[in-house]
Homo-oligomer: A and B are copies of this chain.
Amino acid sequence: MTTLDTLGKQAKETTLLLQQATTEEKNAALLKIADVLIERQEEILVENEKDLVNAKDKGISDSVIDRIRLTEERIKQMADALRELTHLADPIGEVLEAFTRPNGLEIEKVAVPIGVVGMIYEARPNVTIDAASLCLKTGNAVILRGSSSAIYSNIALVSVIREALSLTSLPVNSVQLIEDTSRETAEKMFRLNDYLDVLIPRGSKNLIDTVVRKSSVPVLETGAGNCHMYIDHDADEKMAVELVINAKTQRPSVCNAIETVLIHQSWFDVHGKTLIHQLNSNGVLIHGDQKVKNENPAVLLATDEDYATEYLDLEIAMKVVQSTDEAIKHINYYGTKHSEAIISNTDTHVLAFLNDVDAACVYHNASTRFTDGFEFGFGAEIGISTQKLHARGPMGLKALTSTKYLLRGQGQYKK
């Protein structure tokens, strides 16, 4: 088995060629991977079956097994995504700024690849194709480290990618897989500063926290979403109910779904019953404060832990507040700086909420479910950043780029 250092060196050796690759060459590689993926789908499904059998033997839950499972349909979706990616603009080489200094020095800031990306992720084998294709499109080499539960699938998929690359002008070692899924090797990967320019964890909060805590390689953190919706005193009843139901139930398992609804006392007094009824009809379990429980005894009494919990399920915390300010304080205390919304018709309240809530995405009169690279029109998504540096919120291809200053002179030197 190839050592991590060898993988690192091999990745580093591809970066100049990848940086020089034209958009046409990169797109040709993506199309070739799509073709080989379809050609070799039977073999991929055979390997995936091994992972599924192992998972069942280990008693892994059905929902995780479903994430591991590949089907002809899912492979076709991967191939389609690869082909769609070729239609997106190539961010590399874009001149982001240009200015001339009084001494005549011309300065340009251009977008360049980051270099070598480390990607560490869990069950879903489709992340293998997804991560590799986004890195290739942006001229980055990638070293992939998936989970042991999808190792046969991942080996097959990376073999497909590398066969396809061998038929193009891009270096085969642009995409490499760490086949050793031991914890020790993962820990080494966290400290591979000589070769990795960035490490991107994708998966559970536990995985991300471990990477953030242990990695000396810079991390692009894609974090958890304890998202809130605040219904102000004068919110439209129909809009508020629709948005809460959408943000909670349309897909409860995702990070941009809401976990707590905060409601102004005067709105609650008039419309609280309706909202509770609608949530119940949609199968949502409510953890409410004493006022909510007084309204409906079936409500469970919310604890501090409820306000801090990302249920990712048909459960919601509900709290009555006296002001927009109280809502903002609650959100800034319990939130994870992901997506937060106010439903209101009072301009001063909306402005205070948009300015003072500390989160990647702050909404007025819309569902938090739009925090997503595709909904933002980026055409692709690396993940949703909840950190403050480099990129915040949905990350498209640009998040996989760095910059470089080019300075052109006529002999200028420092006086």
Contacts and interface: CB of A to CB of B under 8 A. Distances in A.
Nearest to A107: B376
A284 to B, nearest CB: 15
Interface residues of A, number: 69
Given A367-B412, A377-B99, A405 B361 contact: yes
Interface string A220-253: 1000000000000000100100110011001100
Interface stretch (A50-58, A297-305, A350-358): A350-358
A243 B393 contact: no
A76 interface: no
A393 B405 contact: yes
A219 interface: yes
A365 interface: yes
Nearest to A411: B239
Contact of A360 (B197, B376, B405): B405
A105 to B, nearest CB: 6
B411 A355 contact: no
B105 A366 contact: yes
Nearest to A221: B218
A404 B370 CA distance: 15
A223 to B, nearest CB: 12
B366 A409 contact: yes
Contacts of A346: none
A407 interface: yes
A23 interface: no
A367 B409 CA distance: 9
B362 A404 contact: yes
A413 B107 contact: no
Interface stretch (A1-9, A13-21, A141-149, A275-283): A13-21
A87 interface: no
A19 to B, nearest CB: 7
Given A15-B358, A99-B377, A247-B413, 8 more contacts: A16-B332, A19-B355, A101-B376, A243-B411, A250-B414, A359-B404, A365-B411, A389-B390
- Which 6 A-B pairs give the minimum distances between C-beta atoms? A366-B409, A246-B413, A369-B414, A388-B402, A367-B413, A390-B390
Interface of A: 15-16, 19-20, 99, 101, 105, 107, 112, 114-115, 191, 193, 197-198, 212-216, 218-220, 236, 239, 242-243, 246-247, 250-251, 332, 354-356, 358-367, 369-370, 375-377, 387-390, 392-393, 402-414
